[in-house]
Amino acid sequence: MFKRTFKRPSHHGGSNNNSNRSAHGGHRRPSSGGGFKNGGRGGGRNFSQRIDVSKFINKAVITEEVTVFKPEHNFIDFKIDDRLKSNILKKGYVTPTPIQDRAIPHALLGSDIVGIANTGTGKTAAFLIPLIDKVIKNPKESVLIVVPTRELAIQIDQEFKGFAPGLKLFSVVCVGGTGLGKQLSELRYHNHFVIGTPGRLKDLIERKSLDLSKFRTVVLDEADRMLDMGFINDMKYMMAKMPKDRHTLFFSATISREIEVLIKDFLRSPVTISVKTGNTPKSVHQDIVRTGGKLKLDVLHDLLISEGFTKVLVFGKTKHGVEKLSKELIHRGFKAESIHGNKPQGKRQTALSLFKTNKCQVLVATDVAARGIDVCDVSHVINYDIPATYDDYIHRIGRTGRAGKRGKALTFVE
* 13 has pLDDT over 60: no
- Shared-domain flag, residues 221 and 288: no
pLDDT range class, residue 255, cuts 50, 70, 90: confident
The b/e string for 317-331 (b: 16+ C-beta within 10 A; e otherwise) is bbbbbbbbbbebbbe
pLDDT range class, residue 34, cuts 50, 70, 90: very low
Rounded to whole angstroms, how far apart are CA atoms 127 and 118? 15
Residue 330 falls within a domain, yes or no? Answer: yes
142: helix, strand or coil: coil
- Shared-domain flag, residues 158 and 86: yes
* 324 has pLDDT over 90: yes
pLDDT range class, residue 390, cuts 50, 70, 90: confident
Domain's final residue, options 274, 304, 337: 274
Measured between alpha carbons, how far is residue 103 from residues 89, 108, 139, 329 in Å? 19, 9, 23, 43
- Shared-domain flag, residues 100 and 207: yes
**Quick one: average pLDDT of 232-257?**
92
Domain's final residue, options 246, 274, 302: 274
- Shared-domain flag, residues 209 and 342: no
- Shared-domain flag, residues 170 and 43: no
* 62 has pLDDT over 70: no
- Shared-domain flag, residues 269 and 129: yes
Residue 304 falls within a domain, yes or no? Answer: yes
Share of the chain above pLDDT 70, in %: 80
Tell me what pLDDT residue 70 has. Answer: 77
Residue 259 falls within a domain, yes or no? Answer: yes
Residue 3 falls within a domain, yes or no? Answer: no
Query: Between residues 212 and 21, which one has the greater pLDDT?
Result: 212
If you write DSSP's letter for every residue of 343-392 in order, what string do you get? S-HHHHHHHHHHHHTTS-SEEEE-GGGSSS---TT--EEEESS--SSHHH
* 8 has pLDDT over 90: no
Residue 399: domain span: 10-63+282-413
Q: How crowded is residue 55: how many other Cβ atoms within 10 Å of its Cβ?
A: 15
Q: Which of 160-174, 294-308, 391-405 has the lowest mean pLDDT?
A: 391-405
Q: Which of 233, 292, 231, 276 is nearest to 391 (CA)?
A: 276
- Shared-domain flag, residues 93 and 174: yes
Residue 246 falls within a domain, yes or no? Answer: yes
The one-letter code for the residue type at 10 is S
CATH of the domain at 89: 3.40.50.300
The one-letter code for the residue type at 327 is K
Residue 29 falls within a domain, yes or no? Answer: yes
284: helix, strand or coil: strand
The overall average pLDDT reported for the chain is: 83
If you write DSSP's letter for every residue of 13-72 in order, what string do you get? -S----TT-----GGGPPP--S---TTSSS----TT----GGGG-B---TT---PPP--S
**Quick one: average pLDDT of 245-271?**
91
The DSSP letter of residue 229 is: T
**Quick one: average pLDDT of 103-125?**
90
Tell me what pLDDT residue 121 has. Answer: 78
* 18 has pLDDT over 50: no
Tell me what pLDDT residue 119 has. Answer: 65
- Shared-domain flag, residues 389 and 311: yes
* 36 has pLDDT over 80: no
Residue 70 falls within a domain, yes or no? Answer: no
Tell me what pLDDT residue 50 has. Answer: 59
What 342-347 contacts at long range (C-beta under 8 Å, 24+ apart), as own/partner pairs, is 344/177, 345/150, 345/175, 345/176, 345/177, 345/178, 346/178
* Cα 195 to the center of its chain, rounded Å: 15
Domain's final residue, options 222, 240, 274: 274
Query: Between residues 384 and 344, which one has the greater pLDDT?
Result: 384
Q: What is the pLDDT of residues 165-202, one digit of tens each?
A: 999 999 999 998 788 999 999 999 999 999 999 999 99
Query: Between residues 23 and 357, which one has the greater pLDDT?
Result: 357
Q: Which residues contact 138 (CB under 8 A, 6 or more apart)?
A: none
Q: Which residues contact 183 (CB under 8 A, 6 or more apart)?
A: 172, 173, 174, 200, 204
- Strand pairing report for 312-315 and 171-174: unpaired
The one-letter code for the residue type at 13 is G
* 63 has pLDDT over 50: no
Tell me what pLDDT residue 389 has. Answer: 80
Angle (nearest 5°) at CA 376 between 364 and 51: 50
Tally the domains of the chain. 2
Is the CA virtual torsion 50, 52, 53, 57 positive or negative?
negative
Do 311 and 325 touch, CB atoms closer than 8 A?
A: no
* Bridge partners of residue 315, in order along the sequence: 365, 383
- Shared-domain flag, residues 259 and 116: yes
- Shared-domain flag, residues 270 and 132: yes
Residue 341 falls within a domain, yes or no? Answer: yes
Q: Which of 47-56, 205-214, 345-354 has the lowest mean pLDDT?
A: 47-56
- Shared-domain flag, residues 186 and 327: no
Rounded to whole angstroms, how far apart are CA atoms 222 and 127? 13
Question: What's the chain's Rg over C-alpha atoms?
Answer: 22
Query: Between residues 35 and 197, which one has the greater pLDDT?
Result: 197
Tell me what pLDDT residue 398 has. Answer: 81
- Shared-domain flag, residues 205 and 117: yes
- Strand pairing report for 247-252 and 143-146: unpaired
